[in-house]
Structure 1
């Protein structure tokens, strides 16, 4: 089974889009007949697909895994630039983490299974092995990026609310992962979990999905463009202009480990070295 890497919460004051990650993919499109035409128009104006919109508590789920609150729908967005060449390259947001060199602290709470803690340490090690000017350090609590556990239900959502950097140049927080028993299987791989966490950290420091312009590349189904969503989608020079099937920032996970590949390393080095 493939799982989608992302949902969204938009912060008006900072023009920030917060992604949740991971929902079961390739389910039948939901019936949008209960969603008003006014709401569908608001969703479309944000740059998202109106196919299969689902009304959920506090807002709407769009594109299978993107959460928009009711407040998001009425909040104007300051659209960032969209500089796109192909379909599956590396993209960044307009805002990035600033004040380099900089150490970003990461804390984790709300999990009983040690796999989450071990995976967090592995994800941090992946970034630090890159010798970037942006490094990460595990702390006991109140990290710059907080990874928290919460019961997000049994509908296939693995996580939510990783985000993009603020206009002040700080990483987004928190990252919420579903701690409901069985969500990640009975014996999840530490390295697969590390890929999920590294992916969410990627959003927090300014990376869009590699296949933002065509989510069908990793998720299957109909072609879908995530749009600029108010935060920009700027091509990172030197990255692939054709498909990149192993990138850690693909929208959907196939349940396997995806360490940084050559294009991922090029993108990380371009932004933070």
Structure 2
């Protein structure tokens, strides 16, 4: 997820906060890296838009908050696209399997606001009574790790966080990264805002695309950008609306505050995981 530093737009994913624990901000800041023409060609071949791509350690971030490793980009992946409307809930071809199952989450190297935000996001998912549950752990080997990185603004934007999509084997994506740079979240992040961002990132980890993936301008403003099928699929979820849905938790850009599931989001999640 990204924040546009020249306006009040917050690209949903990264939304959030670096923990109130700014003690961890002593980590070395990495400088923005150039994205080569060869990498842009791989991104295009993979099915993602090459607009607003940002390099990071080990790969690139596209769509504002989706991390793609260099290894992923070197592979050929395909998936079906069912395009019904511009603002419905969409899932990837791969979903989490082996239900019912509990996904464990470990927050590492981040402070109290991130921990509380994670608990908030987990409580919101678990309250839906899905066959997929979440549990925060403090030790051991987690299913999903939430950790920090430190990268300043570049080109008028700052990446706030990133995650990815489920594997072909039915496992959720295993990493959510949140930007600890002071320009991303400030010194006193709001826990509900943090929880909303983590909630969004978890959505990607279990197979949710952006609700407005075909037209990011719907929630982000600016030029209309279609994120494409991206080799991971963009399959419309039955029962979700064909009209505009301005409050979805999976919109590409945040409203800058506390955003949780709306009625259509719940329909989508229950269709997939009940």
TM-based fold match above 0.5:
yes
Alignment of 1:117 with 2:115, yes or no, is yes
Checking the alignment, whether the CA contact within 8 Å between 2:90 and 2:237 is kept in structure 1 is yes
In structure 2, relative to structure 1, the CA distance for the partners of 1:63 and 1:248 (3 Å cut) is: closer
Alignment of 1:189 with 2:197, yes or no, is no
Structure 2 residue runs without a partner (length 5+): 1-7, 17-33
Q: TM-score, normalization: structure 2? A: 0.81
The C-alpha deviation readout for 1:239-263, integer Å capped at 9, x for no partner, is 1212111111011112111111001
Q: Secondary structure at the match of 1:253?
A: coil
Structure 1 residue runs without a partner (length 5+): 7-20, 24-32
Instruction: Tell me the C-alpha RMSD between the 2 structures.
Output: 2.5
Q: TM-score, normalization: structure 1? A: 0.81
In structure 2, relative to structure 1, the CA distance for the partners of 1:70 and 1:78 (3 Å cut) is: closer
Alignment of 1:148 with 2:155, yes or no, is no
- What does residue 217 of structure 1 align with? 218
- What does residue 157 of structure 1 align with? 159
The C-alpha deviation readout for 1:36-89, integer Å capped at 9, x for no partner, is 4x554443322233445566666556566655555444x242211101101111
Relative contact order higher in (CA < 8 Å, ≥ 6 apart): 2
Checking the alignment, whether the CA contact within 8 Å between 1:35 and 1:55 is kept in structure 2 is no
Q: Which one is further off, 173-182 or 38-47? A: 38-47
Checking the alignment, whether the CA contact within 8 Å between 1:61 and 1:67 is kept in structure 2 is yes
Checking the alignment, whether the CA contact within 8 Å between 2:152 and 2:183 is kept in structure 1 is no
Count of aligned positions: 246
- What does residue 270 of structure 1 align with? 271
Structure that is richer in helix per residue: 2
Q: Secondary structure at the match of 2:184?
A: coil
